[in-house]
Structure 1
Amino acid sequence: MTTLESRTGHPLEMTTEAEVTAVREVLADAGFLGEHVRYAFFAPEEPAKNDVLAHSPEDRPDRRFRAVLLDLSTGRSWDTVVSSTDRVVVSSLELDPPVDGQPPIIDSEFEFIEDVLNASPDWLAALEARGIEPASVRAVPLSAGVYDYPDESGRRIARAFGFQQDHEKDHAWAHPIDGLVAYVDLTARSVDRVIDTGIVPVPATSGNFDDPSVQGEHMTSLKPIEITQPEGRSFTVDDGHVRWGKWDLRIGFNEREGLTLHQIAFDDRPICYRASVAEMVVPYADPAPVRFWQNYFDCGEYMFARYADSLQLGCDCLGDIHYVDATIADDLGNPKTISNAICMHEEDYGVLWKHSDIFTGSREVRRQRRLVISFFTPIGNYDYGFYWYLYLDGTIQLEVKATGIVFTAAYPEGGNPHSSEVAPGLGAPYHQHLFSARLDMTVDGPRNAVEEVEAQRMPMGEGNPYGNAFRQSRTRLRSESDAQRASNQGAVRTWHIVNPDKQNALGQDVAYALHPEGKATLLADDASSIAARAAFARNTLWVTAYDPAQRYPAGDFVNQNAGAGLPAWTQADRPVDGEDIVLWHTFGTTHFPRPEDWPIMPVDYTGFTLKPVGFFDRNPALDIPPSPGTCH
């Protein structure tokens, strides 16, 4: 039997239950755990890039894990790193909350929030004035943000709304108790204050989308779709190592980022060392006294991937599916395995290339297909799916799918300029879903640079007498201060990640282009608290010099942190031209909810694409065989 101490393999292999158990035993033996101590975060502590790239199969990797520990009784917390291989605590640092921020909100705090509220005379009086039984109220601890409340500094604070639940199967999101919010000290388990701006009728509409009487009779005109691969799937997976066609990569999973992709290569040529969604923020637009603070960092404040779904064949994934389990740690540090957390399958994607020639009579067509690697996670009212696509022509794409239930409020008779009415008397505040993709690029090697490429109109005149000309403009981004950029769809702006040391057959620097969607970035005022805390979302692109400690664009500890991450890092203004660089790409949607989004929201889509530009000397998909059967 292989022990942890003797285990050989790749440093980025998936986390095992034995490793989670070993970390807990090491922390317990070192005196870090106790009756009131909980895990607020647990994830692999990946080695630095150079160490991973220098790894050989016979090496014994030192497997390390980062565990953030929270003492619920005192509010003290420690950021620890443990080697499960050597069974030692490698480092430990106690957090200073006013400076560092707080650990994320955890399940144990969700469990007691209603008891805390129901022990508050002010909360109970507000419910009584509304004729609402406390036992019918569902509440959640919501991240507090950072505002001009000196008494909250250094304390672990949450804010809580109430939603009325009429019965056990009733979706309480349909019945917000508006005009009422509680500020809660999670350590003292007490209510600091209750803000009650006046009684508002609780919306009576139903949100029970899963009730057959709400759904109505199911359609009978839809015939089954069967996806079959008679000879089996075309990809292989070996402990997170994926091979498909000319693609070669590793997959990983942690509770903060969810699915991660590593060492992505095509035809043995590296493209991206590591890709993930490293942060997201959902800022709300309603400035009401009970709602102005609503800005949720689902990654950094809630570790949203710890709630990832166990995916189901025929429901979440269709076809010849390969599932991968993911192991994380629960609040007590015990291993928790999410079965079928990651879904992998192939999809037909229409025509790859085609031409019917008038001179030669040639008629050739090839089918495109893609490898899909995905996971889905619910967090509160919303559900998010993350789908990475790899295509036969070397394209990489990320698509995020947002669905679930919109966050609700009462909708007043006179209307609300910051909210939509989605059902009678029920409003959904305007908001955004803004994601930050961390793309550690290695386009044909570690030395890369970024060029901003866009279309440039030319005035009619000398050299352009008929006014039809336009050209391509290219600007090299030299330093971190230069490389804070906005999208410009009117100019077809893209960013080319080039390798100045490698040229194609035409003498051009090999490159991959980042194609943004070009949608709105953060709409909150630049002077606002959320603009400081989610500064990453104010730009579409940031480029930084690689630093293994710089992993999350809003900082390591986002909860109750006034602002960290990219703005602080880029003050050094390090060079990024021909260096080992990381791209941070902001993308997302601005949601003005519709009646069609109630009682459950059809999927909304957002994402970005990475496409080869001169990375190959010609079309890399010429060798795709023709489709069998009647096509040829």
Structure 2
Amino acid sequence: MTTLEARTVHPLSMTTEAEVTAVRDVLVDAGLLTEHVRVAFFALEEPPKAEVLAHSPGDPVDRRFRAVLLDLSTGRSWDTVVSATDRSVVSSRELDPPRDGQPPIIDTEFEMIEGILNADPQWLAALERRGIEPSTVRAVPLSAGVYDYPDEVGRRIVRAFGFRQDHEKDHPWAHPIDGLVAYVDLTARSVDRVIDHQDAPVPETSGNFDDPEVQGPPLDSLKPIEITQPEGRSFTVEDGHVKWGRWDLRIGFNEREGLTLHQISFDGRPICYRASIAEMVVPYADPSPVRFWQNYFDCGEYMFARYADSLQLGCDCLGDIHYVDAVLADDLGNPRTITNAICMHEEDFGVLWKHTDLFTGSREVRRQRRLVISFFAPIGNYDYGFYWYLYLDGTIQLEVKATGILFTSATPGDYATEVAPGLGAPYHQHLFSARLDMMVDGLANAVDEVEAVRIPMGEGNPYGNAFTRSRTRLTRESQAQRQAAPDRARTWHIVNTEKKNGLGGPVAYVLHPQGGATMLADPGSSIHRRATFATNALWVTRYDPAERYPAGDFVNQNPGGAGLPAWVAADRDIDGQDIVVWHTFGLTHFPRPEDWPVMPVEYTGFTLKSVGFFDRNPALDVPATQAKHCH
């Protein structure tokens, strides 16, 4: 057994630098990773669920990794799987871009954009006409989408805006050069076309939120808050295996989804096999000739988690913190470690349960706390924090924190807010897809849609106060494409079809949606076709290990129809089966002046809560607080 094999104790162990290096060596030896080839995506190729569930400590593990390779000189690309254990290429398939889509945009390509633009006469002429020095322009290359441009089919394209930067510390987002966009061929390293639609004055407002003069005098009346745990933290972490209270789970990390949770169980009973944010799309609402195409899939087009922050104690996380590093591969296939990528800590969360009884004189109160597992990723102008919360009463919650800087324009109007003099912020949405591979007390699961029902006044309800609830089993994939309905308190119960609780009812976990808007773009639009997952709040599919990403494996320049709409066309049985629940949630953002020059956090997410999974309150055993100030 080699050192690499000996270290791997579980099929889902977190990626190591040695494994990345081993994969790179295999690709080089096979002639697949050459001078002009770059690694556009790299992640652990997780074994199918059945293999992982059958694994016992000490069993041999074949650690496989998926690497998408891009030849910068030709634009050709390959989807490749390598065994780091056997040091061999398992498979390699060349992509067909018009059908499959393109690999994600990589750092090497971002870095070449300004050079390409500054060599183009049309771009330089447009800047000169505006009196702007090219050396002051920061180019922002953005995913191109798919539109009615036959000459772009099969080619690797981005579209680029310019922002003026007045000095090294100046935030260029405050100075958009509006009415101007360039379409760039990344393989040819040339500009296809420049659209110079209109002259709009470049806003002169400051976006330098980190400048003390912009911030103003500090609010010095705030006193320090210190979080201490004199006896240390209550959880343990070993090679990604986490134990806290009655909770047991594994954590992982990859550049496309970021933080992943695996084999989540409570008191030895499984709840969810795998949970992740599998995609996010940010569709913009400005239909102008230079902006109509603005729609970003931050996971599928940019692999946003490769930019995850190294978190800092006292700033990003408070308390007795456990950090976990994440190992990725850079464009050349070399290992790159993000230190402190994942933050884990406990938080007090107020009262868990309490009662003061007038008959017995009993006064009991217990405090709630939660285990927080989080990471933060800046991507372009925005910063996204993803926080998974596990509570003492068996609740699971996901909260996304959106902050950063608004993407700006110089044309406030019908589709943008003026957030500073002459500075616009287009309307947009942030829509996330949670992939929840459920395993509620076993593999035989189904989904019931449960909602409130008003009862008309009349016989049996003479005073009109009655209401009840309905329960509808979603039995096939065609039926399980649903919208949230906050006015009816609609929820979705993931039930085990083979087990009952002590009261004879279904063992279940309930998905509570927040009920925000789904995709607002027209059904005939390109973005609606490419991000169909975002048109429903709920999808339910039969488990298939190959079905990982709701907009398809290769989102960049994919014409649409991939992922969820393709899979559910099979209309598989999902009643009492091994199922995956996909939940779309997010924000519809009409920016405010208060969101400039840096945006206070906006929150979105969802909750999974037990309903009949336990026979009584599962947090009765939480001890009373022993702190000296609680008597």
Q: TM-score range by the shorter chain?
A: over 0.9
Look up the match of 2:306. Answer: 306
Q: What is the rounded CA distance, in whole Å, between the counterparts of 1:191 and 1:204 in structure 2?
A: 28
| CA deviation string 1:413-439 (max 9, x = no partner) | xx5110000000000000000000000
Q: Which amino acid aligns with 1:206?
A: S
Whether the 8 Å CA contact 1:392–1:621 is kept in 2: the answer is yes
2:449 is matched with 452
Q: Report the counterpart of residue 20 of structure 1 in structure 2.
A: 20
Partner of residue 487 from structure 1, selected from 463, 484, 487: 484
Structure 1 residues 610-621: aligned runs within 5 Å: 610-621=608-619
1:142 corresponds to which letter in structure 2? L
Q: CA deviation at 1:5?
A: 3.7
What SS does the corresponding residue of 1:99 show, helix, strand or coil?
Answer: helix
SS at match of 1:361: coil
Distance of 2:6 and 2:615 partners within structure 1? 45
Note the C-alpha offset of 1:216: 1.1
Q: Distance in 1 between matches of 2:402 and 2:6?
A: 43
Does the 8 Å contact 1:68/1:80 carry over to 2? Answer: yes
Residue correspondence of structure 1 range 233-252 to structure 2 within 5 A: 233-252=233-252
| Whole-angstrom CA distance in 1 between matches of 2:346 and 2:437 | 25
Q: Is the CA contact 1:281–1:296 (under 8 Å) kept in the aligned structure 2?
A: yes
Partner of 2:599: 601
**Please, which runs of 5 or more residues in structure 2 have no aligned partner?**
none
1:389 corresponds to 2:384:
no
Report the Cα offset of residue 562 of structure 1: 1.2
The alpha-carbon deviation at position 7 of structure 1 amounts to 4.0
CA distance in 1, matches of 2:489, 2:593: 33
AA matched with 2:624: P
Note if contact 1:101-1:557 (Cα within 8 Å) is conserved in structure 2: yes
- Give the CA deviation at 1:219: 1.1
Q: What does the per-residue CA deviation read over 1:598-620, in whole Å, with 9 as the maximum and x for residues that have no partner?
A: 00000000000000000000000
* Cα displacement (A) at 1:217: 1.3
- Distance of 2:372 and 2:209 partners within structure 1: 29
Question: Contact 2:41 / 2:303 at 8 angstroms: preserved in 1?
Answer: yes
Three-state SS of the structure 2 residue aligned to 1:20 is helix
- Preserved CA contact (<8 Å) 2:448 2:471: yes
Q: How does 1:106-121 map to 2 (within 5 A)?
A: 106-121=106-121
Amino acid at match of 1:75: G
Aligned length: 629
| CA deviation after TM superposition for structure 1 residue 4, in Å | 1.6
Partner deviation per Cα, 1:154-184 (whole Å, 9 max, x = no partner): 0000000000000111000000000000000
2 CA distance for matches of 1:209 and 1:356? 49
Q: Deviations over 1:43-94 (max 9, x none)?
A: 0000000000000101011000000000000000000000000000000000
1:110-144 CA distance string (max 9 Å, x none): 11000000111000000000000000000122000
In the alignment, is residue 506 of structure 1 matched against residue 507 of structure 2?
no
2:211 is matched by which residue type in structure 1?
A: D
Cα distance in 2 between the residues matched to 1:332 and 1:8: 24
Match of 2:254 in 1: 254
Q: Does residue 1:523 correspond to 2:526, yes or no?
A: no
Change (3 A) 1:348 1:6: closer
CA distance in 2, matches of 1:45, 1:6: 19
Fraction of identical pairs, as percent: 81
Residues 213-235 of structure 1, C-alpha deviations (whole Å, 9 max, x = no match): 11111111000000000000000
Q: Is the 8 A contact 2:46 2:64 kept in 1?
A: yes
Q: Tell me the amino acid that sits aligned with residue 533 of structure 2.
A: F
CA distance in 2, matches of 1:23, 1:143: 28
CA displacement 1:386-432 (0-9 Å, x = unmatched): 00000000000000000000000003xxx511000000000000000
State the shift of 1:260 in Å.
0.1
1:360-399 C-alpha deviation (Å, 9 max, x unpaired): 1111000000000000000000000000000000000000
Contact in 2 for aligned 1:446/1:580 (Cα 8 Å): yes
Query: What letter is aligned with 1:580?
Result: D
Residues 251, 260 of structure 2: 8 Å contact kept: yes
Letter aligned with residue 200 of structure 1: A
Q: CA deviation at 1:254?
A: 0.1
Contact 1:8 1:57 in 2 (8 A): no
Residue by residue over 1:265-319, the C-alpha shift from the partner in whole angstroms, topping out at 9 and shown as x without a partner, is 0000000000000000000000000000000000000000000000000000000
The aligned runs of 1:464-483 (5 Å cut-off) are 464-483=461-480
Does the CA-based 8 Å contact 1:8-1:59 persist in structure 2?
no
Query: C-alpha distance in 2, partners of 1:6/1:236?
Result: 22
For 1:60 and 1:213, the matched residues in 2 are separated by: 60
Counterpart of 1:560? 557
Aligned counterpart for 1:437 among listed residues 434, 437, 455 = 434
Question: 1:150 aligns to what?
Answer: 150
Equivalent in the alignment of 2:181: 181
* Mapping for residues 133-148 of structure 1, pairs under 5 Å: 133-148=133-148
2:217 corresponds in structure 1 to 217
Q: Distance in 2 between matches of 1:174 and 1:141?
A: 17
- 2:24 and 2:197 map into 1 onto residues whose CA distance is 46
Residues in 2 aligned to 1:431 and 1:489: alpha-carbon distance in whole angstroms = 22
Q: Deviating runs (4+, > 2 A) in structure 1? A: 5-8, 629-632
The secondary structure found in structure 1 opposite 2:347 is strand
2:67 is matched with 67
**1:517-539 Cα distance to aligned partner (Å, 9 max, x none):** 00000000011000000000000
Q: CA deviation at 1:8?
A: 4.3
For residues 6 and 229 of structure 1, do their structure 2 counterparts lie closer, same or farther at Cα, with a shift above 3 Å needed? closer
SS in 1 for 2:529: helix
Q: Deviations over 1:473-500 (max 9, x none)?
A: 0000000000000000000000000001
Specify the alignment match of 1:585 in structure 2.
583
Q: Give the conservation status (yes or no) of the 8 Å contact 2:308–2:377.
A: yes
* Counterpart amino acid of residue 11 in structure 1: P
1:345 match: 345
State the match for 1:231 in structure 2: 231
Partner of 1:191: 191
Q: How far does residue 2 in structure 1 lie from its aligned partner after superposition?
A: 5.7
Quick one: distance in 1 between partners of 2:341 and 2:238? 16
- Give the secondary structure class of the aligned counterpart of 2:289: coil
Q: Given that residues 78 and 93 in structure 1 are in contact (C-alpha distance below 8 angstroms), is that contact kept between their aligned partners in structure 2?
A: yes
The aligned residue for residue 378 of structure 2 is: 378
Task: Check conservation: 2:255, 2:303, Cα contact below 8 A.
Answer: yes
The aligned counterpart of 2:362 is 362
Task: Tell me, yes or no, if the aligned pair for 1:307 and 1:377 is still in contact at 8 Å.
Answer: yes
Amino acid at match of 1:577: D
TM-score normalised by the chain length of structure 2: 0.99
The residue aligned with 1:547 is 544
| Contact 1:5–1:86 (CA under 8 A) maintained in structure 2 | no
User: What pairs with 1:19-58 in structure 2 (closer than 5 Å)?
Assistant: 19-58=19-58
Q: Using the alignment, how far apart are the partners of 1:8 and 1:392 within structure 2? A: 31
Query: In the alignment, is the contact (CA less than 8 A) between 1:8 and 1:58 conserved in 2?
Result: no
Task: Give distance in 2, aligned partners of 1:105 and 1:224.
Answer: 43
* CA distance in structure 2 between the aligned counterparts of 1:525 and 1:429, rounded to whole angstroms: 17
Q: Secondary structure at the match of 1:124?
A: helix
- Give the deviation of 1:631 after TM superposition: 2.6
C-alpha contact (below 8 Å) 2:5/2:61 kept by paired residues:
no
- Who is 2:571 aligned against? 573
Provide the rounded CA distance (Å) in 2 between the counterparts of 1:202 and 1:171. Answer: 14
User: For residues 468 and 6 of structure 2, what CA distance do their matches in structure 1 show?
Assistant: 59
Q: Is the 8 A contact 1:140 1:160 kept in 2?
A: yes
Superposed CA deviations along residues 441-480 of structure 1, whole A, max 9, x for unmatched, are 0000011000000000010111111110001100000000
AA partner of residue 363 (structure 1): R
Question: Which residue type is aligned with residue 189 of structure 1?
Answer: R
Deviations 1:332-377 (A, max 9, x none): 0000000000000000000000001111111100000000000000
Q: What is the distance in 1 between the residues matched to 2:217 and 2:458?
A: 66
Query: Who is 1:163 aligned against?
Result: 163
CA distance in 1, matches of 2:408, 2:2: 52
**Equivalent residue of 1:201, what SS?**
coil
CA distance, structure 2, for counterparts of residue 367 and residue 6 of structure 1: 43
Instruction: Give the match's secondary structure for 1:80.
Output: strand
